Amino acid sequence: MKIKIWNAFASNNSGSYTIVGNFSTSQLARDVATELTKLVEAHHKWIEACEGTSPLSEFAKTNGLSSYTETKYHDDWPESFSTAPEVLAIDQQVFIHHPYVITLPALFGQYFYSRGGRVEIELNHSHNPLVASFSIYVHHEKKKTVDSTSTFASILRELIAPDGPLSTGLANELAPAWKIENSGFEKLTFGACFEDLVKSFAAIEKIIANYDVRSTVQLFEAPSEKADPLLHLRQSGNTVNNSDTKTKNSETLLDTIGSFFESIIKPRKM
Amino acid sequence: MHESSYPENSIAVPDALAHLRRFPLDGALLLFDRDSGLNAFCEGSETAHLKQAAPRVVQFGITNSCNLACTFCSRDLIAKSEWTLEQAFTILADLAQLGVLEVAFGGGEPWTFPKFAELVCRLHDETPLAVNFTTNGLAMTAESLSAIRGKYGQLRLSLYENNNWRFKIRQLVESEARFGVNYLVTPERLPELERTVLELASLGCRDILLLSYNGLDAALHIDSTSALGLAKRVAVLANALKNDCQIKLDVCWGERMEDVPRLFKRNDCGAGRDFIVLTSDKKIQPCSFHELKIGVENASDIMEIWRNKQNELYAPALLPGCARTPGFGLERATTSAY
């Protein structure tokens, strides 16, 4: 008998189905489940105090898995007041479940493979980086009262400050990129691959909220691991951008941006 | 009939799932835990003889009263609620006995139904039903949430321009409520989709259901070209947020969202079969957008219609947006319905 497991409640707006489901196969399922049950319970207890090395980190080290580091807000694990994830051995499958967590740390999947099992998922698994691209613009009704060029400059300064969201929390070697279009439809567009998209989004939104601007976000999967998915933002033209980002630090970039804005703000026609 | 005589009860399932409630499907067995929302779909030679005996879900528009007046709402605002708390409880308890797994209240706004919290608690305490509801949140307070804590499966907050949803989500997170958000995707909202979903996730929402519009206003429908682009964007969003938030799709999207990975490949929305709608004026419908309405008095009436009126219940709705209609009937939508 084949068994598929997922988590969902009915809603008044018709049914809905999506994703979820981690399975491994092998005769070792029961043993693996027992081991992971102990691990999950130990880590869930650890979450309450967060003292010393976490059981997940220890487990990763002991079993030769990629090192595991807890995220700042432990958002890859259920809250401590909630129950621990449940580990079930079902025939030849191992299922790890929690109603509030869709995917637990990747470590579990790695462990399935290391024990000769496999992971099956319904979601298209992305191998290439996911890129977030933000566009900031001034609403047409506000154009008479908001100077978009200086506003974009201020926003950009905050974004790329040493502790800003375009300097910290980036996912890989790919440098963030931005572009300001100052003719026609004026907008600031910037993109990056973030380690934690939601956290970076919140940090960016916190900055944007201080200005009288609107924003949109686009997400896309990079076409390959090597190609620069933000090349379009690094091209020169009637723009200011960070084409030399990889060789410049944030302070130098701030200087560059400052000079650029001074040059374009001064001759602005009224 | 004694419980042991139900054919689904004699099927052996793994110990870890043995405590779950059993629901026979055609050729398969569904196991369900109302406390966690865990579903296990079992299929094999052992389940080949099973037949579905009841709808899995009852969507209950218990009242049409609402403290908002949204232009896209499908409800018949003239129809008054004919239910008392006792009648609502009785019909749902009887349906639970006949096999129904879940009730999902909507309306109208369910919190405008007198003693709604009491109904939720009684259903949880005295029946095996999972109790869920959709709300605009305006009449829901920290106290009312506290009154139903642990008694419901999931509540769904509808996101409107005028229901202060950011505040409501913070309130739900602080109350540790199990909740999701319903977001109606319209052409006007398309550019904002990623931004909105990311904001919801950053506020602490872990479950977002994207709804398609059903109705006459052409301006609110997503055309097939836009839908294709939307499906790709939703797939990327779901992938990007897989550690943070579930993205769900309303069944009315149908094949328009073919590119989005699903748990099950389904050809039909399940209206009138998997779920039925019970209206505030004591009628049943295949779904809340359907023109078919049949009066009922009790659970036996509902089951008789569910068993014997399949042709009517499985027919597509006339309202544009129905996934059972070729092309979703969008040509029937007018330029502006309002």
Query: Any idea what the CATH number is for the domain that residue A137 is in?
Result: 3.30.70
Q: What is the DSSP letter of B280?
A: T
Could A14 and B102 be called an inter-chain contact, meaning their C-beta atoms sit closer than 8 Å? no
A38 and A101 fall within a common domain: yes
How does residue A269 score in pLDDT terms, banded at 50, 70 and 90? very low
In chain B, % of residues over pLDDT 70: 90
A106 and A139 fall within a common domain: no
A99 and A162 fall within a common domain: no
Inter-residue contact B205 to B179 (CB < 8 Å): yes
A144 and A73 fall within a common domain: no
A191 and A146 fall within a common domain: yes
A97 and A175 fall within a common domain: no
Please check whether residue A270 lies inside any domain of the structure.
no
How does residue B299 score in pLDDT terms, banded at 50, 70 and 90? very high
A121 and A137 fall within a common domain: no
A105 and A194 fall within a common domain: no
Task: Tell me which residue range forms the domain holding A244.
Answer: 130-265
Tally of structural domains, chain A? 2
The alpha carbon of B220 is separated from its chain's Cα centroid by a whole number of angstroms, namely 21
Thinking of the domain B54-152+272-316, which architecture would CATH place it in?
A: Alpha-Beta Barrel (3.20)
CA distance A117 to A108: 11
Residue B186 pLDDT: 93
Q: Does any CB of chain B come closer than 8 Å to the CB of residue A73?
A: no
Q: Does any CB of chain B come closer than 8 Å to the CB of residue A205?
A: yes
Range(s) of chain B covered by CATH 3.20.20.70: 54-152+272-316
Please check whether residue A164 lies inside any domain of the structure.
yes
Instruction: Point out the residue among A97, A99, A219 whose CB comes nearest to the CB of B194.
Output: A219
**Beta carbons within 8 Å of B54's beta carbon, 6+ residues apart:** B95, B98, B99, B100, B303, B306
Query: Using one digit for the tens of pLDDT, what is the confidence trace for A145-196?
Result: 888 888 998 999 999 999 999 999 898 778 899 988 876 778 899 999 988 8
Inter-residue contact B78 to B108 (CB < 8 Å): no
Please check whether residue A226 lies inside any domain of the structure.
yes
**Pick from A107, A125, A143: which residue ends a domain?**
A125
Please check whether residue A95 lies inside any domain of the structure.
yes
Q: Output the CA–CA distances (angstroms, integers) from residue A64 to A58, B156, B257, in the order listed.
A: 10, 42, 40
Q: Does any CB of chain B come closer than 8 Å to the CB of residue A171?
A: no
A75 and A112 fall within a common domain: yes
A212 and A92 fall within a common domain: no
A94 and A158 fall within a common domain: no
**Beta carbons within 8 Å of B143's beta carbon, 6+ residues apart:** none
How far is B180 from chain A, CA to nearest CA, in Å? 10
How does residue A267 score in pLDDT terms, banded at 50, 70 and 90? very low
Is the pTM higher than 0.80?
no
A167 and A207 fall within a common domain: yes
